[in-house]
Amino acid sequence: MITSYEIEFLPVGSGEKSGDCILFHYVEDNVGKIIAYDGGTQTSGKAMVEHIKKYYGMDKIDYLINSHPDGDHVSGLTYVLENMQVGEVWIHQPWKYSAEILDLFHDGRMTANSLSERMKTKLRLAHRVYELAIEQSIPVYEPYAGAKIGPFTVLSPDEDWYKNTLVPDFSKT
């Protein structure tokens, strides 16, 4: 049972009041837990680690979540993984689906492998977060609708919409 909680929106970048780095600190069955939602930039990832250690007196994030692979959401997560214990990482891994979605790219020169490599390159920060988690034997999950992350349930996206609509749109960014 959750007996207390607090939500903090940490600044991302200079002069910002809140940003793409959210902490949910809660106590469940007398045990403090932390969910970190996005990590902002490298600088804000460092600030997040310092904040958790200073104000929560903890050195572990139970659930590290990335909403999407934009640099101002994912870059700081590499710093977090290099400087804190992490229980689980929740991040989409679009490079895994290249064989399934290859025909959505309408490029006969592309293979499933080349599409996967292209995504890993284009989304290099997200892929690096994934690699760091695997290197540290941290379980990695994808946050699709219905998944349970601590006390929360993921509402969107569902896996089909992600693979067939969102991932092909990455090529436009």
pLDDT in tens, 12-24: 666 555 457 899 9
**End-to-end CA separation in angstroms for the chain:** 42
SS3 54: helix
pLDDT at position 164 over 90: no
SS3 93: coil
pTM of the model: 0.90
Residue 81's pLDDT band, with cuts at 50, 70 and 90, is very high
According to the model, what pLDDT value does residue 173 have?
45
Tell me if 39 sits within 8 A of 66, measured CB to CB.
yes
How far is residue 92's CA from residue 68's CA, in Å, rounded to a whole number? 7
Six-digit token pair at 117? 């490599």
According to the model, what pLDDT value does residue 14 have?
63
Please report, for the chain, the start and end positions of each structural domain, with discontinuous segments joined by +: 2-167
Residue 40's pLDDT band, with cuts at 50, 70 and 90, is confident
pLDDT at position 10 over 90: no
According to the model, what pLDDT value does residue 154 have?
97
Tell me: the pLDDT tens digits for 111-149?
A: 999 989 999 999 999 999 999 999 999 999 999 999 999
Bridge partners of 64, per DSSP, are 36, 89
Q: What average pLDDT is seen over the chain?
A: 90
SS3 84: coil
- Tokens 């349930």 identify what position? 153
According to the model, what pLDDT value does residue 146 have?
98
**Average of per-residue pLDDT across 63-82:** 91
Write down the CATH number for the domain with range 2-167.
3.60.15
Bridge partners of 60, per DSSP, are 85
